[in-house]
Structures are given as C-alpha cells and as structure tokens.
C-alpha cells in the first residue's frame, strides 16, 4: 500500500469517527433516558471554557460566509449587467449556501437517519436549484434592468418550485418514506413564507408611514421566532424615544406569554427507549417524577435554543453591518450606503444591547 493510499485511508477513518461522534446525539429521543444520562455526563465533564467556546464559535461560520460575500470587489450597479459579473457570482454563492442550509434543516427535522438523503445529494440539489434560479435572474437582468427591483421577492416562488421539484427528482424514495412527517411540516413552512413577505411589507411601511402607524404595526404584529432581529431593525429605524419604548414593552409582553406557554406545554414521545417504557418499569411516584424530569429537560432545551438564537442573530447582524460599513464595497451596498459613521455605531450599539436586555427580562 502506497503512502498516499495509507493517508487516504487514515483520513477516511478519522472522518468517519468524527461524523459518528458529531451525529451521536441525533439518535437519542427527546424523552429518552439515554439523553438524560448524556446531559448529566456533559454537565459533569464539560468545562466552562468548552461551553463558552460553543456559544461564541457557533455563529462564526455564518459570519465568515457573510464576510466572504461582502468582501468581494463590486462594480457600480449603474454600469449595467455586463459590467457586474462579480455580482452574479456573489448571488450564485449566496443562494447555494441559503438553499443548502434550508435542505439541511429539512434533513435534520425529518430525514436525518435516511441514507438516501445524504449531504452529497443536498449539495447536488442546491447547485441545480441555483442554476435554474440564476438563469432566470440573469436573463431578467439583461432583458429588463439591473439590478432587478425586488429580485429576492419576485423569484421566491420559482426557488420554491425548483426546491420541491428537484427534491422529488433526486430523493423521491427518501421523501416518500417520510411522507407523513413531511406533511406535518407544511403548515410551518407556509407560515415562514407568510412571515417572509409580511416582514418585507413591514419594512416598507416603516420607511413610508408616520410614528403612529409604526406603533400600530409593532403592537399588532407579534413574532417570537425571529423577533430579536425584527426588533433590532425596528429600533434602527425608530425616530423617537416613544416608539423605542413601545417596541421594548411589546417584546416584554410577548416574552412573558412565551414563558407561560412553555410551563404547560406537553410533548409527544419519539424514542424507542422512552417514557412509556420507563412508566412500565417504574411504578407510582417514581414514574411520575421521571416523566416530569424528562419533559422538563426537553422544555429547557427548546427554551435555551430559542433564547440563544434570539440573542445571537442580532449580534451577528450587528457585527456584519459594522464590517460591511468599513469594507471598500460599502458605497455599493444597499444596506449601508446611506448610513453615516454615527448612524452605523448607533445601530451597532443598539443591536448588541437590545437582545441581551430582552433575554434578561425573559428570566
């Protein structure tokens, strides 16, 4: 065996060990006794340094991807489509990353153990989706105008059709094997697209209407999942202290309702070594205590993950915005091209402080 073959074999073995270690937690049910034991082991053995590293380094890949996209030298959009080939390349890269991320979420939610829905299949689907999408976008830019107004809004239906169609073409067997689970996620996916268009409408309303309309929109549009990013952008465009107070009070009320809902929420069992088994083995109060403990564990997981992302997304937005402003491409970036240095620093400060203050109020 040659040195190259030996090295390749060792790399393959190392990758397999890493993948098994990384994906081991996926096979533990939400209510499983194994998960409770794994949590206790982690709590006893994980150092504060490791916990801090997980918290701080988790958003780093996303930030680096954003930095790479925003650091690409850009041309003035007024030069037309022919002079902005780099913009199209940037669009291809960003859409591949976005599509792959969406498909990864589908895999983790429904198809995480199915061999027919591998990472290679996801990458192939993502590339072909973007080929079709960018063909339409670039064609529109040359035939009509560049940049295409509301491009990301206009082409969302086409992107969705391509994602569904190519998933059916490349992974039909995997999808059919999890058909019932996929159907249960349809309302969630539909809601996400409704929120997507609603948030764009809110952004336009904030730019057009008066403070009274801002207050009405803030109070009447509660949204907890991406709430902190929405709240951060809202505070960025808030013109008066009154509107800022309304936004923060609205968030406080929603946080109180969310915590109250978590206290009484019941979950379905999804593991083979779970509650029902434990209840048969343990009798009386011991079974009840075990049931409540496992429910509390999953409740804490959901709540902590939700709060973590509500804090980290505005922070990621703040650092990305600050980085974009100092890059040479800032004069061609639609988000920061009209912002002064003082406005950028103010937005960065509010984006950093708001999620932490909201999280502290939740507890």
Q: How many whole angstroms separate alpha carbon 121 and alpha carbon 100? A: 10
Over residues 68-107, the pLDDT tens digits come to: 887 778 888 888 888 888 889 888 988 998 899 888 888 8
Q: How many whole angstroms separate alpha carbon 358 and alpha carbon 253? A: 11
pLDDT at 31: 56
**Residue 281 pLDDT greater than 60, yes or no:** no
Alpha helices per DSSP H over 144-209: 151-154, 156-170, 172-177, 179-208
pLDDT at 176: 84
Backbone angles phi, psi at 249, to 5 degrees: -65, -40
Q: Are 146 and 154 in contact (CB under 8 A)?
A: no
Between 56 and 111, where is the model more confident?
56
Q: Kindly report the average pLDDT of the chain as a whole number.
A: 74
Give the model's confidence band at 314: pLDDT under 50 very low, under 70 low, under 90 confident, else very high.
Answer: confident
Handedness of CA 119, 121, 127, 129 (dihedral sign): negative
Burial class (CB in 10 A: 0-12, 13-18, 19+), 28: middle
pLDDT at 135: 95
Nearest to 73 by CA among 88, 93, 94, 87: 87
pLDDT at 268: 40
Side-chain half-sphere exposure of 69, counting CA atoms within 13 A: 21
**Residue 298 pLDDT greater than 60, yes or no:** yes
pLDDT at 225: 45
The winner for highest mean pLDDT among 121-135, 151-165, 174-188, 315-329 is 121-135
Over residues 107-162, the pLDDT tens digits come to: 877 776 667 788 889 999 999 999 999 999 999 999 998 888 888 778 988 999 99
How distant, in Å, are the alpha carbons of 30, 89, 221, 254 from that of 261?
Answer: 19, 45, 18, 11
pLDDT at 267: 44
pLDDT at 165: 94
Q: Could you identify the residue written with the tokens 């393959």?
A: 12
For residue 167, count other CB atoms closer than 10 A to its CB.
20
Nearest to 133 by CA among 119, 107, 151: 151
Give the model's confidence band at 338: pLDDT under 50 very low, under 70 low, under 90 confident, else very high.
Answer: confident
- Give the long-range contacts of residues 204-210, CB within 8 A, separation 24 or more: 206/234, 206/237, 207/237
**Interval 159-185 mean pLDDT:** 86
**Cα 10–14–17 angle (5° rounding)?**
140
* Token pair recorded at residue 244: 């800022």
Over residues 215-271, the pLDDT tens digits come to: 776 666 655 445 555 566 665 555 566 666 666 676 667 666 666 665 555 444 444
């Amino acid at each position: 065996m040659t040195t190259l073959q030996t090295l390749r074999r060792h790399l393959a073995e190392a990758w397999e060990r890493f993948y098994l270690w990384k994906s081991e937690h996926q096979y533990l049910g939400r209510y499983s006794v194994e998960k409770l034991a794994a949590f206790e082991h982690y709590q006893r053995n994980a150092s504060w340094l490791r916990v801090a590293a997980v918290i701080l380094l988790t958003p780093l890949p996303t930030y680096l991807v954003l930095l790479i996209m925003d650091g690409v030298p850009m041309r003035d959009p007024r030069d037309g489509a022919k002079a902005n080939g780099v913009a199209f390349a940037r669009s291809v890269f960003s859409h591949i990353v976005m599509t792959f991320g969406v498909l990864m979420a589908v895999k983790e939610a429904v198809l995480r153990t199915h061999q027919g829905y591998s990472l290679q299949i996801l990458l192939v689907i993502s590339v072909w989706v973007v080929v079709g999408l960018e063909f339409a976008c670039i064609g529109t830019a040359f035939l009509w105008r560049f940049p295409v107004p509301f491009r990301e809004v206009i082409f969302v239906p086409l992107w969705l059709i391509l994602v569904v169609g190519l998933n059916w073409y490349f992974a039909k067997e995997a999808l059919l094997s999890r058909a019932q689970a996929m159907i249960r996620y349809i309302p969630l996916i539909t809601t996400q697209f409704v929120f997507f268009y609603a948030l764009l409408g809110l952004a336009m309303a904030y730019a057009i209407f008066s403070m009274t309309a801002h207050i009405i929109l803030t109070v009447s549009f509660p949204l907890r999942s991406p709430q902190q990013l929405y709240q951060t952008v809202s505070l960025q465009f808030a013109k008066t202290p009154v509107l800022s107070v309304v936004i923060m009070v609205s968030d406080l009320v929603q946080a109180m309702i969310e915590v109250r809902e978590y206290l009484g929420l019941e979950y379905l069992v999804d593991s083979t070594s779970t509650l029902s088994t434990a209840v048969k083995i343990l009798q009386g109060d011991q079974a009840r205590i075990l049931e409540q403990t496992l429910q509390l564990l999953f409740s804490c997981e959901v709540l902590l993950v939700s709060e973590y992302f509500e804090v980290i997304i505005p922070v990621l937005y703040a650092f990305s915005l600050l980085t974009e402003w100092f890059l040479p491409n800032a004069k061609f970036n639609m988000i920061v091209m009209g912002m002064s240095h003082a406005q950028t620093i103010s937005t960065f400060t509010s984006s950093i402080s708001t999620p932490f203050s909201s999280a502290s109020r939740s507890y």
